[in-house]
Amino acid sequence: MTTTTTDSSLRQTPPERTYTPEQLALFAEIKNGRTFDKDEELPEFYRKHLINLLWMQGDSEYSGSLGYAPWIAKAPTMQEKVLVAQIVKDEMRHASVIYKILEGLGEDPLTHVNKSDLGFKHPQDDINIGFKRIKDDYRVNIFYYGINYWTDFILFNFLMDRAAGHQLEDTLESSYLPWKKGIEGIYKEEVMHLTHGDKWVKILAADPKEKPFLQERLNLWWPRVMNVFGSAKGSRNDLYVNLGLKKRTNAEVREAFVKEIHELCAEVGLVVPEYREEDQPTRD
């Protein structure tokens, strides 16, 4: 028999999601400060959802580094080539940190990476795949898109690295201690990446020749980034909060992210386009 929680201090879930008494007890223990460490036996329910999040992050970091790599050669100055190379190195290191945690949980990241096409980028420049998946891997689907212009690279720093930073911030308090420890360095480096994006958005927006294209590419990338937060109708994020794997739901993180982007764009005269979830292509 299953039941829904009546504890108002726990995140409420949609009527269709129900939990066993054991799962509700786990939520309560985590709310009261229970954590899990390396080599500790994990409740299977907890382990399943932890691994799901780790695979998503690991594959996204790995695919992201491959998407950035061509811009080492194509960056406009020698200094920028060095900075892009550092960002590529950071992203690959992030992937290795997460994959190492997965290894500790009995997963096999090396085999997965070798058989997966994590370097794949969709050949169509202006496509929006919405919430769809294209390959058999775990990356957030924004990493299916190609970074085709320097302006794209900058917007990826400005938008996606900022969105990732907001999401990683929650993991600094994760109930899984190896992940919490690993995120500390990753979070600091993501802040550096978005700072690079902020600097260049100001440079491009101040140039009358560059600003129209910057606005055009912002219009293209905005729904792609917003889709990273998933559907507002989804219920899994409440589950992650109850498991102590996230502090806020994606909707709450998205709200903070959107507010920040609107403020930054207003400073440089860019217009954040309207986003309507119902207009996005859905999963097949």
Residue-wise pLDDT for 95-130, tens only, equals 999 999 999 999 999 999 999 999 999 999 999 999
| Of 50-54, 210-214, 229-233, 253-257, minimum mean pLDDT range | 229-233
Average pLDDT of the residues in 66-81: 97
Specify the pLDDT at position 232.
Answer: 66
Domain boundaries, the chain: 39-271
Angle, helix 78-104 to helix 177-205, in steps of 10 degrees:
160
Neighbours of 274 (CB within 10 A): 8
Going by the DSSP 8-state scheme, the letter that residue 75 receives in this structure is S
* CA–CA gap between residue 175 and residue 244 (Å, rounded): 5
Question: In sequence order, what are the beta bridge partners of 122?
Answer: 145
What's the chain's average pLDDT? Answer: 91
**3-state secondary structure (DSSP) of residue 122:** strand
pTM for this model (two decimals): 0.90
Residue-wise pLDDT for 188-211, tens only, equals 999 999 999 999 999 999 999 999
Domain boundaries 39-271, corresponding CATH code: 1.20.1260.10
Residue-wise pLDDT for 234-246, tens only, equals 556 689 999 999 9
Going by the DSSP 8-state scheme, the letter that residue 277 receives in this structure is G
